[in-house]
Structure 1
Amino acid sequence: MSPKRPIKPGASTTSPETPFILPDIGPPALHRLPLNIAPHGEDRVSVDYPRTSDQSSSSRHAPLEIVDLPAETHITPVVVHAPIEHFFLAPNQLSRLPEPNALSGIREIGTQRNFVDLQEGGTVLLGIDSENQFRARLNSDYRPSGPRLERVEGTLTWRVKPSDEGAGGSDSRLTLKRLRNPDDDPQEVVAPKRSSTSTGEEWSDPWKKWDAPPQQASIGSIEVDGIRFLLVPRGTDPDHPIVYIKNPEHWVYDFDYMERILGTDLMQQPRGAIRVPPANQWEIDPNLPFQHPLKQYIATYFPLLSETSVKKVARHQFGLANDGDMATGVGLTRLRQTFNDWKRGNSTPHPPLADPLLMLPTLATSSGGPGLSRTLELPALTPEGPLQRLDFDLTRQEWDYFKTTQSGVELKRLMANILNRQGYDVFTPTPSSSFPALVFRRKNHPFVFFVSLYRVRGKKIHQPLNSGPDTADARLNTQVGYPALQEILQAHAENRLVWLKGGSQIHASQPDSIFIVRDDESRLATLADL
């Protein structure tokens, strides 16, 4: 017998298939499927049939008992993951991926994000489960949740691994029988003659079963088609035209709970409702507010952000939209509008919600004394804590090349490439290697960014006071070029200019990274000399 693999301290001992059980305190568990699977050792499981349109909300249904089936009955295995199409990347992300590895076919971005092209079409993010098997995954997955994948021999493409591999040869046999309730007809028995596949159509509109308990119906609720629904708090605008109904089993929606719902069952998210003239009655919006977890929207439109940055940006954006930690009707509408603006390339009415760079706090620089330097201490690169910096993933080849060059021109070229792949328009870098800097902007908002670039060893950026923009080698038109200079002068006059610092950081206590932070150091103090 081979020895057991040691378990790393703090590592999870559960597998991806282990159901996530909520603690006794906090929002209740979500239920998507109509069956509650019995624990091991139990012979029965109670199942409630879904209510049909001609049944009242108070009707009760008899539970079902699982007993032995005849040998000829066919049982279809339950698929425990979404179809592979659910994991496809959006088309606008594909052009930004690196070329496949010549041996594995894997497209690598850093050490944490690997992508593969499928034989039947589509590209997915690749993960490894607890059994060291490759699976498709979403960017929001804590553990890979998609089907298992394997490389097609002799090619650079992958495919879904056949589901019958490794399956046991024994046949399961079971059937369903209705148990009579006291008010049932004594002759009524449900016994299927053969197996059938549920289409799930009866679960497509679960909100129709969200009728509020009588004791809560008068508190923040609306009535639609004779059903009383509880509402998500409306937020800062009580007269906002869109409201959101919610499952009465859900308490309040903070960021983590909202992500859990969007990651496990999109159909359980709050649904929008609006008054429709001329009767001015409430109607439920047939469209889902969100098609993905919130983090996936960030990762889609800013694809090079590190996983830590994606999570922090999504959490910060949620707080900005809702003016606090809990979801409101106004906040959910702001998020929907922002994601729609990203998709369509519209100008956004809320720029700080739409750009991670505008979400960054302004870090103060300190002076070391007369004739010395200004110092900015970079925030630590940690998975927890507030959003203070943005970090980007590079492919291993890009990072290895970047570490071998010390040229300021190469530093500008690398950062310009990263910004372009994030959807920014960067003014053409100049050939000057002194005090490297870039000017860039985004089409859907009016702000202009100026980023000074550094190679940082340790955690502090030092800038000598005698290297200000008034010195000959650091003149702004030399640094960024005349067209960029005109752009920043105009933006500065209209208070649309944002100052940033970025570059590479190598520190013993954290992974090497490409970063951007926001600071308060204006480089325009001596424009009269330019």
Structure 2
Amino acid sequence: MSPKRPLKPGANNPSPDTTFTLPDVGPPTLHRLPLNITSHGTERAPVDHPDTPVQSSSSRSASLEIADLPLETHITPVTVHAPIEHFFLPPNQLARLPAPNALSGIRELGTQRHFVDLQEGGTVLLGIDSENHYRARLNSDFRPSGPRVERLEGTLTWRVKPTAESAGDNDSRLTVKRLRTPDEDPEEVVAPKRSSTSTGDDWSDPWKKWEAPPQHASSSSLEVDGIRFLLVPRGSDPDHPIVYIKNPEHWIYDFDYMERILGTDLMQQPRGAIRVPPANQWEVDPNLPFQHPLKQYIANYFPQLSEISVAKVARRQFGLANDGDLATGVGLTRLRQTFNDWKSGNSAPRPPLADPLLMLPILPTASMGPGFARTLDLPTSSPEGPLKRLDFNLTRQEWDDFKTTQSGTELKWMMTAILNRQGYDVFPPTSTNAFPALVFRRRNHPFVFFISLYRVKGRKIHQPLNTDPNATDARLNTQIGYAALQEILQAHAEKKLVWLKGGSQVLASQTDTVFIVRDDESRLETLASL
């Protein structure tokens, strides 16, 4: 018996069809539902009915004869899921979860995000299907698409709920024999034996069934092994060597739709195709373009970014790669190359695609008049709107350590630790407390970053004007050290210097955070004497 869904005191009792919703994921308004998903969010294997003709590969009808079938045999659809490992949370997200409930074992993050630890290992996001059963789900699921799970009695861990087939209670096999029609060659007739749990190419190579309807075949299509496929628009380079075939039921791929496909069934994503010598014929790449949803790539390689920042960086990266809001063949290849560069440590040919700091817009500053300090209004950290800032999650221990002093030196060391975990190399902080700043860069990356650090209470950064330009070099040498100073001088000469502001922000109505924004006003302090 499945455990009842835990309810918070005073909460309304949800209906059986209640699903966990995400603010940035929903059913696309312009597209058909992908992946052959049923109303329960699961994919079902076809079952041949005795009175239903089967369509052969040559579009000719075929007869079916079911022989020696015991009367007590039950024929039911078999639900097919991705393996439970497909739903495991990345390790870097586990530290953010609260402790399990002492009775249910459920980790409650807010009112609509519940997680459980599995006996098999791993932690999954929990969903409830339309039959009121618990299932594993992905962030991008419209309805939970994973296998059913249940709590182990007397423990706080859960497990994948055993099915009749996995428990060995049903070892039946269905034998199907095709009878030859009058116009068929006898050698073409095969009598296959199909297991009720077999998926075959339906799971491994579903693209083989993506043949374009005749009325949709056009110049934006491609023929492989006699099958014509529709193509994702090629984008800015019509001669790009890699093209992408797509499911004809998918219209266009914006960010949300692409995330939904990658989160529900990786096998339904567009597939790359290339020309293979010496015949120069088109072949479909057997490798999947993407192994995870796009947001998961960001979360894996920038592990302390907040959930809001991860979503906005992924959306911004998608737009930059595709030169717009819709996926193109060139854009998908750029994303694949960027993710591969992250993994291998190669130099990225397009740095703005590979570094969230370069995706930030330059924020304007305001001045009350000549001789007055300038101020920068920090944008709000909210799910709505474009990317304007990056926020980072700190552990409680990190916050407690910083709050004991909140000195400029402690601020530098805290930011150094955060940047190091994001893959940046930071020049060693100096011991000075005044005007805290850091210089850092990424390996195989052409840009150098200078970040001024602040402890902000409220929403404004106040920046005093430099009244002694001739002392800038000396002060910078004290602020960041001689080696870092030489690095930024060289980067400035090559126009590869990026100015940032960051630090801690404390707001009465929100959780304390560590932030980074981009501006160019640091030049008021330094460039006068460079």
TM-score for the superposition, normalised by structure 1 = 0.77
Q: 2:388 maps to what in 1?
A: 388
Question: Which shows bigger deviation, 388-397 or 445-454?
Answer: 388-397
1:73 Cα deviation (Å)? 5.7
The structure-2 alpha-carbon separation of the partners of 1:319 and 1:529, relative to structure 1 and needing over 3 Å to count, comes to closer
Is the 1:276–1:282 contact (alpha carbons within 8 Å) kept by the matching residues of 2?
yes
CA drift of 1:87 comes to 4.1
**Residue of structure 2 in register with 1:161 after alignment:** 159
* Separation (CA, whole Å) in 1 of partners of 2:216 and 2:413: 60
1:402–1:116 CA distance, 2 compared to 1 (3 A): farther
Contact kept, 8 Å, 1:313 with 1:356, in 2: the verdict is yes
Distance 1:151 1:453, change over 3 A: farther
Q: Do 1:432 and 1:479's aligned partners in 2 also have CA atoms closer than 8 Å?
A: yes
1:21-73 Cα distance to aligned partner (Å, 9 max, x none) = 957x521112357x88799xxxx998999988xx23x35678999xx996576
Shift of residue 86, structure 1, vs aligned partner: 2.3
User: Structure 1 residues 528, 217: CA separation in 2 closer, same or farther (over 3 Å shift)?
Assistant: closer
2:34 corresponding residue in structure 1: 30
Give 1:394 shift.
1.3
Map 1:378-527 → 2, pairs under 5 A: 378-466=378-466, 475-523=475-523, 526=526
Indicate whether 1:216 and 2:216 are aligned. yes
- Give the letter for the 1:478 counterpart: T
Partner of 1:168: none
> Which segment drifts farther, 111-120 or 338-347?
111-120
How has the CA–CA distance of structure 1 residues 526 and 281 changed in structure 2, closer, same or farther, with 3 Å as cutoff?
closer
SS in 1 for 2:357: helix
Please state how far the C-alpha of 1:85 moved relative to its aligned partner: 2.5
Instruction: From the superposition, tell whether residues 136 and 201 of structure 1 become closer, same or farther in structure 2 (CA, over 3 Å).
Output: same
Distance 1:294 1:37, change over 3 A: closer
Describe the superposition over 1:253-309 as per-residue Cα deviations: whole angstroms up to 9, x where unpaired: 111111111111111111111122222211111111111111111111111111111
Map 1:206-245 → 2, pairs under 5 A = 206-245=206-245
Alignment of 1:139-178 (within 5 A): 148=149, 160-161=158-159, 163=161
Alignment of 1:98-117 (within 5 A): none
Contact 2:318–2:335 (CA under 8 A) maintained in structure 1: yes
Measured in 2, the distance between the counterparts of 1:144 and 1:508 equals 36
Match of residue 356 from structure 1: 356
Which deviations, in whole Å up to 9, do the C-alpha atoms of 1:110-150 show, x marking residues without a partner? 999999987766x54x5455699998765656787666587
Amino acid at match of 2:360: L
Does the 8 Å contact 1:136/1:149 carry over to 2?
no
User: Do the aligned partners of 2:207 and 2:247 also contact (CA within 8 Å) in 1?
Assistant: yes
Q: Measure how far apart 1:391 and its partner are.
A: 0.7
One-letter code of the match for 2:368? G
Letter in 1 for 2:291: Q
**TM-score using structure 2 length:** 0.77
1:312 equivalent in structure 2: 312
- Distance in 1 of aligned mates of 2:196 and 2:312: 45
Distance 1:348 1:400, change over 3 A: same
Residue in 1 aligned with 2:188? none
Q: Secondary structure at the match of 1:292?
A: coil
SS of match in other structure, 2:215: coil
Secondary structure of the corresponding residue to residue 411 of structure 2: helix
Tell me the amino acid that sits aligned with residue 296 of structure 1.
Answer: Q
| Equivalent position amino acid for 1:440 in 2 | F
| 1:319-398 mapped onto 2 (5 Å cutoff) | 319-398=319-398
- Give the structure 1 partner of residue 293 of structure 2: 293
- AA partner of residue 433 (structure 2): S
Instruction: Give the distance between the partners of 2:74 and 2:40, measured in 1 at CA.
Output: 20
Amino acid paired to 2:421? R
- Report the Cα distance in structure 2 between the residues aligned to 1:483 and 1:7, rounded to whole angstroms: 59
Deviation larger for 192-201 or 494-503:
192-201
For 1:307 and 1:500, how far apart are their aligned partners in 2?
A: 21
What secondary structure, in the 3-state scheme, does the structure 1 residue paired with 2:501 have? strand
Task: Find the counterpart in structure 2 of residue 197 from structure 1.
Answer: 197
Deviation at 1:421, TM superposition (A): 0.6
Q: Does residue 260 in structure 1 map to residue 275 in structure 2?
A: no
**Which is further off, 438-447 or 366-375?**
366-375
Structure 2 distance, partners of 1:267, 1:362, is 39
- Contact 2:174–2:195 at 8 Å: present in 1 too? no
Range with greater deviation from structure 2 (510-519 or 4-13): 4-13
Unaligned runs of 5+ in 1: 166-170, 186-191
- Counterpart of 2:249 in structure 1 is 249
Distance 2:12 2:61 in 1: 48
SS of equivalent residue, structure 2 residue 275: strand
How far off is 1:464 after superposition? 1.4
Q: Deviations over 1:329-351 (max 9, x none)?
A: 11111111111111111001100
> Residue 195 of structure 1: CA displacement?
7.4
Distance 1:11 1:458 in 2: 41
- 1:381-400 deviation digits (Å, cap 9, x = unpaired): 11011011111111223223
Count of residue correspondences: 496
Task: Name 2:271's counterpart in structure 1.
Answer: 271
Q: Distance in 1 between matches of 2:16 and 2:30?
A: 22
Q: CA deviation at 1:371?
A: 2.4
Compared CA separation, residues 428 and 311, structure 1 to 2 (3 A): same
Given the superposition, is the C-alpha separation of residues 478 and 10 from structure 1 closer, same or farther in structure 2, using an over 3 Å criterion?
Answer: farther
The offset of 1:177, in angstroms, is: 11
Contact persistence 2:466–2:524 (CA under 8 A): no
SS in 1 for 2:297: helix
SS at match of 1:364: coil
* 1:36–1:45 CA contact under 8 A, matched in 2: no
**1:47-196 equivalent positions in 2, closer than 5 A:** 55-56=57-58, 58-59=59-60, 78=79, 82-88=82-88, 124=123, 127=125, 129=127, 148=149, 160-161=158-159, 163=161, 196=196
3-state secondary structure, aligned to 1:398: helix
Residue type of the alignment partner of 2:161: S
Identity among equivalent positions (%) equals 65
Residue by residue over 1:426-452, the C-alpha shift from the partner in whole angstroms, topping out at 9 and shown as x without a partner, is 111111111111111011311010111
**What are structure 2's unaligned runs of at least 5 residues?**
1-5, 164-168, 184-191
Q: Specify whether residues 288 and 446 from structure 1 end up closer, same or farther in structure 2 by C-alpha distance, changes over 3 A only.
A: same
Q: CA deviation at 1:489?
A: 0.7
Instruction: State the distance in 2 between where 1:436 and 1:423 align.
Output: 21
Please state how far the C-alpha of 1:208 moved relative to its aligned partner.
1.1
SS in 2 for 1:208: helix
- More off after superposition, 331-340 vs 203-212: 203-212
> Take 2:96 and 2:384, find their aligned partners in 1: how far apart are those partners?
32
The residue type paired with residue 226 of structure 1 is G
Is this contact kept in 2: 1:469–1:523, CA < 8 A? no
* CA displacement at 1:483 relative to structure 2: 1.0
